[in-house]
Amino acid sequence: MGQTECYKILSSHLVSGELRQGESISIRIDQTLTQDATGTMAYLEFEALGLDRVRNELAVSYVDHNTVQVGFENADDHEYLRTVADRKGVIYSRAGNGICHQVHLERFARPGKTLLGSDSHTPTAGGIASFAAGAGGLDVALAMAGVPFSIIAPRVVEIRLHGHLRPFVTAKDVILCVLERFGVKGNVNTVFEYTGEGVNTLSVPERATIANMGAECGVTTSLFPSDGNTKAFLEAQGRGDEYIPLYPDEDAVYDDLFEIDLSSLEPLAACPHSPGNIAKVSDLAGMRINQVLIGSCTNSSYMDLKKAAAILKGHTVAPTVSLGVAPGSREVLMMITEDGTLETLIKAGARILESACGFCIGNHQSPGTDSVSLRTSNRNFYARSGTASASLYLVSPETAAASAITGVFTDPRTVDADLSSITMPRHFLIDDSGFILPTFSAEIFRGPNIGEPPRNTPMPDSIKGHAVIKVGDKITTDHIMPAGARLKYRSNIPHYASFVFESVDPSFPERAAAYRDKGESGFIIAGASYGQGSSREHAAICPMYLGIRAVVAVSIERIHQANLCNFGILPLLFRKEEDYQCIDQGDELELLDPAASLESGEFTLRDHTKGIDIPLDLFASEEQKRMLSAGGRLNEVRI
């Protein structure tokens, strides 16, 4: 039986376990990446492992999230990251060099390699046929220490592309179509593999846009083949010698098939407040808009900006609209400067933003009250922009540019511009001076904002307390741990913990801490797809700090489930989904005989308030059971 591309890479990296779908396996990680918002904690955790230097093939530390620098915290964190990278053998990509996923694709990602990143959009590198997954900081710290990464051998879904995109229909519309089909929940332990002759019509940056937003479906990663287009991209990046061909076998067997006729697609948009809430741009046409933002790791490549500029050329942004453009990397910024694209954007009235995450994470550019914001980024979760009343729509750069001119939602197919000559360049402008190579000599700097990596206590004999909060379906890590204005406290857990569930229930931290201080264990009760979205391990660490011992949910997303185990919080699932209805916030709860239940994986939750027993299943591997018993991975791991 032929192999999929996914299983080819997994089998060449298999360290333990049987490579059969659903089995727990561990794989060797070649490359790692971190970004600053998750990176400080990841390197504190790496330091706690006591190693002199990283042991994997390539480790890169990017500074791209917290670059606004209001107050001393961000700058101090950057200095910690620069010095710890130098000392431990990590390449440091300084602020201004660009967004981690865009830069990694340009300069480091390689076909056939494995990449683990402390950011959920690490699968962007799947566009260049790298098996690239997002994980919590601790898992990445361990990968840097050479510890294999554990995953469930995934089911592989074939997404077969036919035909070619028509003018003004883009890679963004392809992934929005995939999101319409697969949604944002229920795709755990799945990999999307793109095949079919339509794949040949997509350049690596376009493939990267598609692989990037597979993260929104919750898949482990997405993969494109390594073919002539991959070779052309690597050559244009001066890395032609890194090319290897990589395809699935002709008779590869997949678990599911979804076929897309690229020629039949039209411009799409993800509507508030979920990337899976898809509509046709033509159906939204005419809606007044207030803000347009082009950038983020999804759509900030050289071609993206050139196409947006070609539409904007000769026009001025509507007076009622603010247009911001953030080039994805210094390479992109230098190229649009050199070829005049930047001038076109400036003349049209665009505000040029730093090559960083910025608006995407709500770090700046929060829209006005009740306003409508069109963005080329990948997440439009409630309140992520910093303005809870705003409505965010996710669109292609073409739709964004066309709408910026008219001031209303506009189908780009109605504009008068010719984009047909905008294709991938034969040579990108290469300048690696934004990277600092390690010298193994720096004194590690620690600002006052940087604490110790927090640890949990071993699992107690009795787990008794209250349902501190009950939340519904699709609670994202942005709901649990806000970013934006709170992002600068990532290295200061006691302070950051005072914002847990800020947009859902701001009284949560005080309530949880009061129960904790009485010696109780806290419970979070949740619906389906709890913890979707980012890889931020703070969504586990901060609740842990507030005394949470168990999350009881209908379902939990992959990266968040791993983060919970890493920090000693029990991920428990209702055996009967309807039991979710039985528990109310404030109920007095107890997990009966936790030690034996951990062993068997079957728990009983006694709701003393309601006088009922509820059966639960532990969602954890054997390895994770050991972590949970020890009160988290840092208490248990031996390097």
Question: Which stretches of the chain bind ligand MIC, using CB under 6 A?
Answer: 37-38, 65, 119-121, 134, 361, 379, 483, 533-536
Q: Which of 195, 274, 296, 366 binds ligand SF4 (CB under 6 A)?
A: 296
Buried b (16+ CB within 10 A) or exposed e, 606-633: bbeeeeeebebebbbbeebbbbbbbbbb
Judged by beta carbon, residue 360 or residue 402, the one nearer ligand SF4 is 360
Please report which helix (H) or strand (E) contains residue 232, including its range.
helix 228-236
Q: How far is the CB of 196 from ligand MIC (least distance, A)?
A: 29
Residue 377 binding: pick among ligand MIC, ligand SF4, none (C-beta 5-8 Å cut-off by kind)? ligand SF4
Q: How far is the CB of 373 from ligand SF4 (least distance, A)?
A: 14
Judged by beta carbon, residue 119 or residue 587, the one nearer ligand SF4 is 119
Q: How far is the CB of 394 from ligand MIC (least distance, A)?
A: 13
**Can you tell me whether residue 538 is helix, strand or coil?**
helix
In sequence order, the 6+-apart residues with CB closer than 8 A to the CB of 385 are 359, 362, 365, 366, 367, 373, 392, 484
Residue number, nearest CB to ligand MIC: 534
Closest CA to 374 of 303, 474, 281: 281
E runs forming strands in 296-447: 322-325, 351-352, 372-375, 391-394, 435-436
Judged by beta carbon, residue 111 or residue 214, the one nearer ligand MIC is 214
Q: Which of 29, 44, 99, 487 binds ligand SF4 (CB under 6 A)?
A: 99
Residues between 332 and 371 with contacts to ligand SF4, criterion CB under 6 A = 357, 360-361
Residue 297 touches ligand SF4, criterion: CB under 6 A: yes
Neighbours of 511 (CB within 10 A): 18
Please report which helix (H) or strand (E) contains residue 516, including its range.
helix 508-517
Neighbours of 309 (CB within 10 A): 27
Q: How far is the CB of 385 from ligand SF4 (least distance, A)?
A: 11
**Can you tell me whether residue 524 is helix, strand or coil?**
strand
Judged by beta carbon, residue 321 or residue 357, the one nearer ligand SF4 is 357
Q: Walk across the sheet containing 114-117 and list its strands.
A: 131-134, 114-117, 31-35, 58-62, 91-93, 435-436
- The pairing of strands 14-16 and 521-526 is unpaired
Judged by beta carbon, residue 147 or residue 356, the one nearer ligand MIC is 356
Judged by beta carbon, residue 7 or residue 359, the one nearer ligand SF4 is 359
Q: What is the 3-state secondary structure (H, E, C) of 243-271?
A: CCCECCCCCECCCEEEEEEHHHCCCEEEC
Residue 330 binding: pick among ligand SF4, ligand MIC, none (C-beta 5-8 Å cut-off by kind)? none
Q: How far is the CB of 559 from ligand MIC (least distance, A)?
A: 8
Judged by beta carbon, residue 121 or residue 306, the one nearer ligand MIC is 121
578 dihedral zone (left: phi>0; alpha: psi -120 to 50; beta): alpha
User: At which residue do the structure tokens 């990841």 appear?
Assistant: 42
Q: How far is the CB of 489 from ligand MIC (least distance, A)?
A: 12
Give yes or no for a contact between 549 and 462, defined as CB atoms under 8 angstroms apart. Answer: no
Residues between 121 and 140 with contacts to ligand SF4, criterion CB under 6 A = 121
Residue 378 touches ligand SF4, criterion: CB under 6 A: yes
Residue 61 touches ligand SF4, criterion: CB under 6 A: no
Residues across the chain: 639
Q: Which of 5, 30, 106, 119 binds ligand SF4 (CB under 6 A)?
A: 119
Q: How far is the CB of 140 from ligand MIC (least distance, A)?
A: 11
- Which residues here bind ligand SF4, judged by CB under 6 A? 65, 99, 119, 121, 296-297, 357, 360-361, 377-378
